[in-house]
A and B are shown apart, each in its own frame.
Chain A
Amino acid sequence: MKVPNPLKPNRSRRRRSKLRRFLWYPPLLVVTATIVYPVLWMIYSSFKPQIAIFDSVFSLPTKFYGGNYSILFGTEGEMLRWIENSSLISFLSATGIVLCACTVAYGLATFDFRGKQLLFFVCLLGLMVPETTVVIPGFLLISQLHLVNTPWALILTYCGWSSFGILILRNFFESTPKEMREAAVVDGAGHWKVFTRIMLPLARPAVSTVAIFGFLWVWNDFVYPLIYLTQDSSYTVPLGVAQYYSRAGIDVGAQMAALTIAASVPLAVFLVFQRSFIRGLMSGAVKA
C-alpha cells in the first residue's frame, strides 16, 4: 500500500503544495552556494598562477597551471612528507581507537560488576573535554616518554580518545540480546570467540562508523600536532598547512594548493564512505 504523504493531506491541496515546494529551492540554493563556492573557489584558484589570482579573483583558470603544486611537492616542499605522516598516524590511530572502543564496549555491555556505571561515566567524560585542557599535561607525559616529534606521540594519545566509540559500540552491543552471548559462552565458545566471531561481524556498521569518524577526526586534528610536533619533517597535513600559511603568507596560489590537498583526503573519504558515514551518524545519535 502506498503511504500517503502527511504533508499533503488531501487531493485538493496537492497541486498548490507542489507549486509551493519550488519556493524552497531559492533558499536551499543560497545555502548550497555559501557552502560549495568557497571550497570550489579554493580548488580552482589553486590551478591559477598567483598573478591571475590577484588580477581577477572570481575567474576560472584559463589553462591548466600546476606550478603551485610543484612548489609543494618539489625539493623545497614537504607536502609529501606531511601526507605520509598524516596517513600513518590516522590509519594506526583509527585502528587503535576501534580496538580500544570495541573491547571496552563489549566488556561494559556483557559483564555485570560493581562500579560499572561509574566506569562508563568516566569513559564518557572524554566527550566533553576540550582538547586544549588536556594537551599540557599530555605534553609533559609525551616528553617524559621521549616521544616528542614522533608519530607515536600522537598515535598513543589518539588511542585514548575512544569515548565516542565506546558510547556508540556499547549501545550497539547492548541492543543485541544478552541471551545470545550467554548461550554461546555456555556452549563452550568462550567470550573471546563470541566477541570475534559473532559480535564484531554483527557490529560491522557501528565499527565502520567509529573507524571513519576516528580517521577523519585524527586526520583533521590540529591541537595535538601543534604542541607535540616541532620539526617541519614530522608535521601532519593540517599543521603543515597552517604553518605554511604563517610562513609564506604571500604565495596565495601555493596556499590554495596546500589547502586543496589538505581538504581532498577527508572529502574523498566522505564521498567514498558517504552511506556508512550518514547511516552511522543517524543510528548512533538516535540510540544515544
Chain B
Amino acid sequence: MNQSVADAVRAEPPAPGTSKSLTAQRWPSWLPHLRRSGLVACLFILPGFLQYLVFMFIPLMSTVALSFTNWTGFSFSDIHIGSLRNYSALGHDPVFVQALVHTLVFVVAGSAVETLLALGLALVLFGNLPLAKVFRTIFVMPAVLSPVVIGLIFLFVLDPTLGIINPLLRDLGLKSLAGVWLSDPHKALPILVLVQVWSTFGLYMLLFIARLGMIPEDQWDSAAVDGASRTQTFRWVIFPALRSMAAVVVLLTLIDCLKVFNTVFVMTQGGPNHATEVLSTWAYTNVFANNEVGYGDAVAVVLLGVALLFIFAWAFWMRREAARNR
C-alpha cells in the first residue's frame, strides 16, 4: 500500500513516445488527457473493470438502494421508496438484534481463536521440527474444501444417532458429555465457530510462517551471538515481526467470520429457534423465504456497515500504531 501512495505522490512522468505536449494544457484539468497512453490505459483497465462494475459493484449499490424500499420481489411496478422504514423496523425485530449479537460474538470469538491457534502452530512448525512440512500441508487442507462439504461432514459427525462424536466420547469414558449438539441452542453457535476455525486456521498459520521466514538471517545470527535466551529471542526478534502479520491476520479473520453463511446455512439454517441466526442468514431468510426484499437488504446493508466499521477501525488503529512506532 505504501508503495502505491508513493506512486501517487510522485509527479506524473512524461508518457513515453509523446513529449509532454502542449495539447495537454488545453484540456480542462478534470478531463482525462486523451493522449495515446491514456487510451492504452483505458484499453487495459476498462474491460476487466466494467466486468467488476456490472457484476459486483452495481449489485452492491443496488442492495443499498433496495434497502430503502418496501419491495417484495415480485414486480418492479410495486416498488415504493419507503424512506428509512426498514431501518427503523430493525430495532423492533428481536431476531435481528439476536442475529447482530451472534454475528459479533462469532466474529470476536472466531477471530481470536483462529489467530491464536494459527500463531501457536506457526511458532511450533516454523523451526526444523521433523515432519513440520507434513503437518503444515495437512493443516492447510481443510481450507480448500467447500464450506458446504465441511458443513455436511460435521452434520454427520455431530449427528446424535449416526455420528461419531457421541460413540467417541463414550469410548473415551466421557459419556456424560455426549448428547445432542446442533439442536442444543447453547452449543450450536460455539460449534459453528469451531467449524469455521477448523476450516481456515491453516491458511493463517501459513501467513505467520511466511512472515517468520522473512526475518533476515543476521537478526537470528546476532541473537545467537549475543547469547539471547529463548524468551529474549522471542521478545526482540520474533514478536516484532509477528505483530504486523498478526494485524493482517486479524483483519482477514474478521472479514471471513463476518461473511460466514454457507456452513450456518447448511448446518443449522439459523436454528434451533434462531440460536445461530447471523446477519447473512437473516438477510437471506427475509429476502428469499419471507419475500421482504427491502427489509432483507436493510439487514444486508447493516452487515456491510459492520464490515466497513471493522475495516475502518482496523485502518485507524494501524495508522496510530505506525505513528507511535515512528
Contact = CB atoms under 8 A, between A and B. Distances in A.
Contact of A270 (B54, B136, B141, B262): B141
Given A35-B141, A156-B55, A136 B44 contact: no
A184 to B, nearest CB: 9
A106 B44 contact: yes
Interface in A250-271: 252, 255-256, 259, 262-263, 266-267, 269-270
A7 B127 contact: yes
Nearest to B130: A21
15 contacts: A24-B124, A41-B157, A100-B47, A112-B12, A117-B5, A122-B57, A129-B60, A131-B261, A132-B284, A133-B63, A134-B63, A137-B66, A182-B13, A262-B148, A278-B137
B113 interface: no
A134 to B, nearest CB: 4
A202 interface: no
Contacts of B48: 99-101, 103-104, 162, 166
A65 interface: no
B4 A238 contact: no
B139 A31 contact: yes
A7 B156 CA distance: 42
Chain B CB count within 10 A is highest, among A227, A267, A278, for A278
B148 A222 contact: yes
B248 to A, nearest CB: 7
Interface string B213-225: 1100100110110
Given A104-B49, A130-B259, A267-B144, A125 B149 contact: no
A263 B146 contact: yes
Contacts, number: 300
Contact of A35 (B62, B198, B300): B198
Interface size class of A (residues with CB under 8 A): 35 or more
A246 to B, nearest CB: 9
Top 5 nearest A-B pairs by Cβ distance? A160-B55, A100-B48, A282-B210, A107-B44, A137-B62
Interface of B: 1, 3-5, 7-8, 12-13, 16-17, 30, 32, 37-38, 40-41, 44-45, 47-49, 51-60, 62-63, 66, 121, 124-125, 127-129, 135-142, 144-149, 152-157, 162-164, 167, 198, 203, 206-207, 209-211, 213-214, 217, 220-221, 223-224, 227-230, 233, 237, 245, 248, 255, 258-259, 261-262, 265-266, 280, 283-284, 287-288, 293, 296-297, 300-301, 303-304, 307-308, 311
B45 A119 contact: yes
Nearest to A24: B124
Contacts of B248: 285, 288
B216 to A, nearest CB: 11
Contacts of B221: 3-4, 6
A9 interface: yes
Chain A CB count within 10 A is highest, among B13, B144, B230, B248, for B144
A241 B149 contact: yes
Chain B CB count within 10 A is highest, among A34, A136, A138, A266, for A136
A70 interface: no
Given A127-B255, A156-B55, A281-B210, 6 more contacts: A6-B233, A120-B4, A135-B59, A160-B52, A216-B144, A255-B156
B262 A185 contact: no
A203 B17 CA distance: 25
Nearest to A281: B206
Given A3-B217, A9-B227, A38 B154 contact: yes
Chain A CB count within 10 A is highest, among B51, B203, B213, for B51
B228 A6 contact: yes
A133 B60 contact: yes
Contacts of A135: 59
Contacts of B207: 281-282, 285-286
A4 B224 contact: yes
A141 to B, nearest CB: 7
Nearest to B64: A133
Nearest to A165: B48
A54 interface: yes
B45 to A, nearest CB: 4
Nearest to A21: B129
A261 B13 CA distance: 54
Nearest to A242: B148
Interface in A228-245: 237-239, 241-242, 245
Given A241-B152, A274-B137, A222 B147 contact: yes
